[in-house]
Amino acid sequence: MYPHQLEGFEFIWKNIAGGIDLDELKERKSLNHGNGCIVSHAPGTGKTRLTIVFLQTYMELNPTCRPMIIAPSSMLLTWEEEFLKWKVGIPFHNLNKRDVSFEENISALEFLIQASPSGQSVDNVRLVKLFSWKKEKSILGVSYRLFERLAGVRKISKCDKVRKVLLEIPDLVIFDEGHIPCNDDSLIWMALSKIKTERRIILSGTPFQNNFTEFYNTLRLVRPNFEDI
């Protein structure tokens, strides 16, 4: 990594893990004492690569962690490409894709074939991806719009179990292009704010606008307890 990425790695680690002293962290027997942080670098400075290296390291020391990456749907394809390019070795389940990648859990894939012999329904494929992510070391990717549909404030009875998984399972959430959900009246912001974990990373290559309310909402999203500080 470049020097600015090394500095960014230490910054993220300190905020998410709660410190950079590994001996001290091992004494705690947990890397879950951290909070959220914002990484705002210009486009093309390697934020995705930096985050992937962080995820590899963090999950190596904390294998039960289940990260979730929320990004515009087109950016999820970029994340997939980067995972392949750098040979990360951690399955990436893109919830927006309508077909399986065959990195999913074997038992879940067998169930899908038995349940849908004539064709794979989108809902069943999503359930397989969610089960695989929850069951085995992996990372989930989902777009902002789909996350709002599946876990948002609008009650859709068939999505209750999916909503619970998306809101309660993630130990770490990464908001790529994290300046997007800056309006606290939007359904997307309301849905994201209900995620249980406080370990959140906002990535943004776009300078924050000179709007105090939007900046304040961004801080509330990445650190839910910001108002109490």
Poorest-confidence range of 109-118, 198-207, 213-222?
Answer: 109-118
Poorest-confidence range of 8-12, 15-19, 36-40, 71-75?
Answer: 15-19
Q: 3-state DSSP helix/strand/coil percent for the chain, to nearest 5? A: 50, 10, 40
130 lies in a domain? no
Poorest-confidence range of 5-14, 120-129, 147-156, 163-172?
Answer: 147-156
How many domains does the chain divide into?
Answer: 1
Contact (CB, 8 A) for 45 and 4: yes
pLDDT for the residue 155:
61
Q: What pairing do the DSSP bridges indicate for beta strands 92-94 and 172-176? A: unpaired
123 lies in a domain? no
132 lies in a domain? no
126 lies in a domain? no
For 29-62, what is each residue's pLDDT tens digit? 555 567 899 998 888 788 999 999 999 999 998 9
Integer distance in angstroms from the first to the last C-alpha of the chain?
A: 34
Q: What pTM, to 2 d.p., does this model score?
A: 0.90
Name the DSSP letter for residue 68. E
47 lies in a domain? yes
For 108-159, what is each residue's pLDDT tens digit? 888 777 766 656 788 888 999 999 999 999 999 999 999 999 998 776 545 7
Domain that holds residue 11: 3-98+137-222
106 lies in a domain? no
131 lies in a domain? no
Contact (CB, 8 A) for 20 and 10: yes
Task: State the pLDDT confidence band at 180, using cuts at 50, 70 and 90.
Answer: confident
Q: What CATH number corresponds to the domain at position 17?
A: 3.40.50.10810
Contact (CB, 8 A) for 169 and 66: yes
229 lies in a domain? no
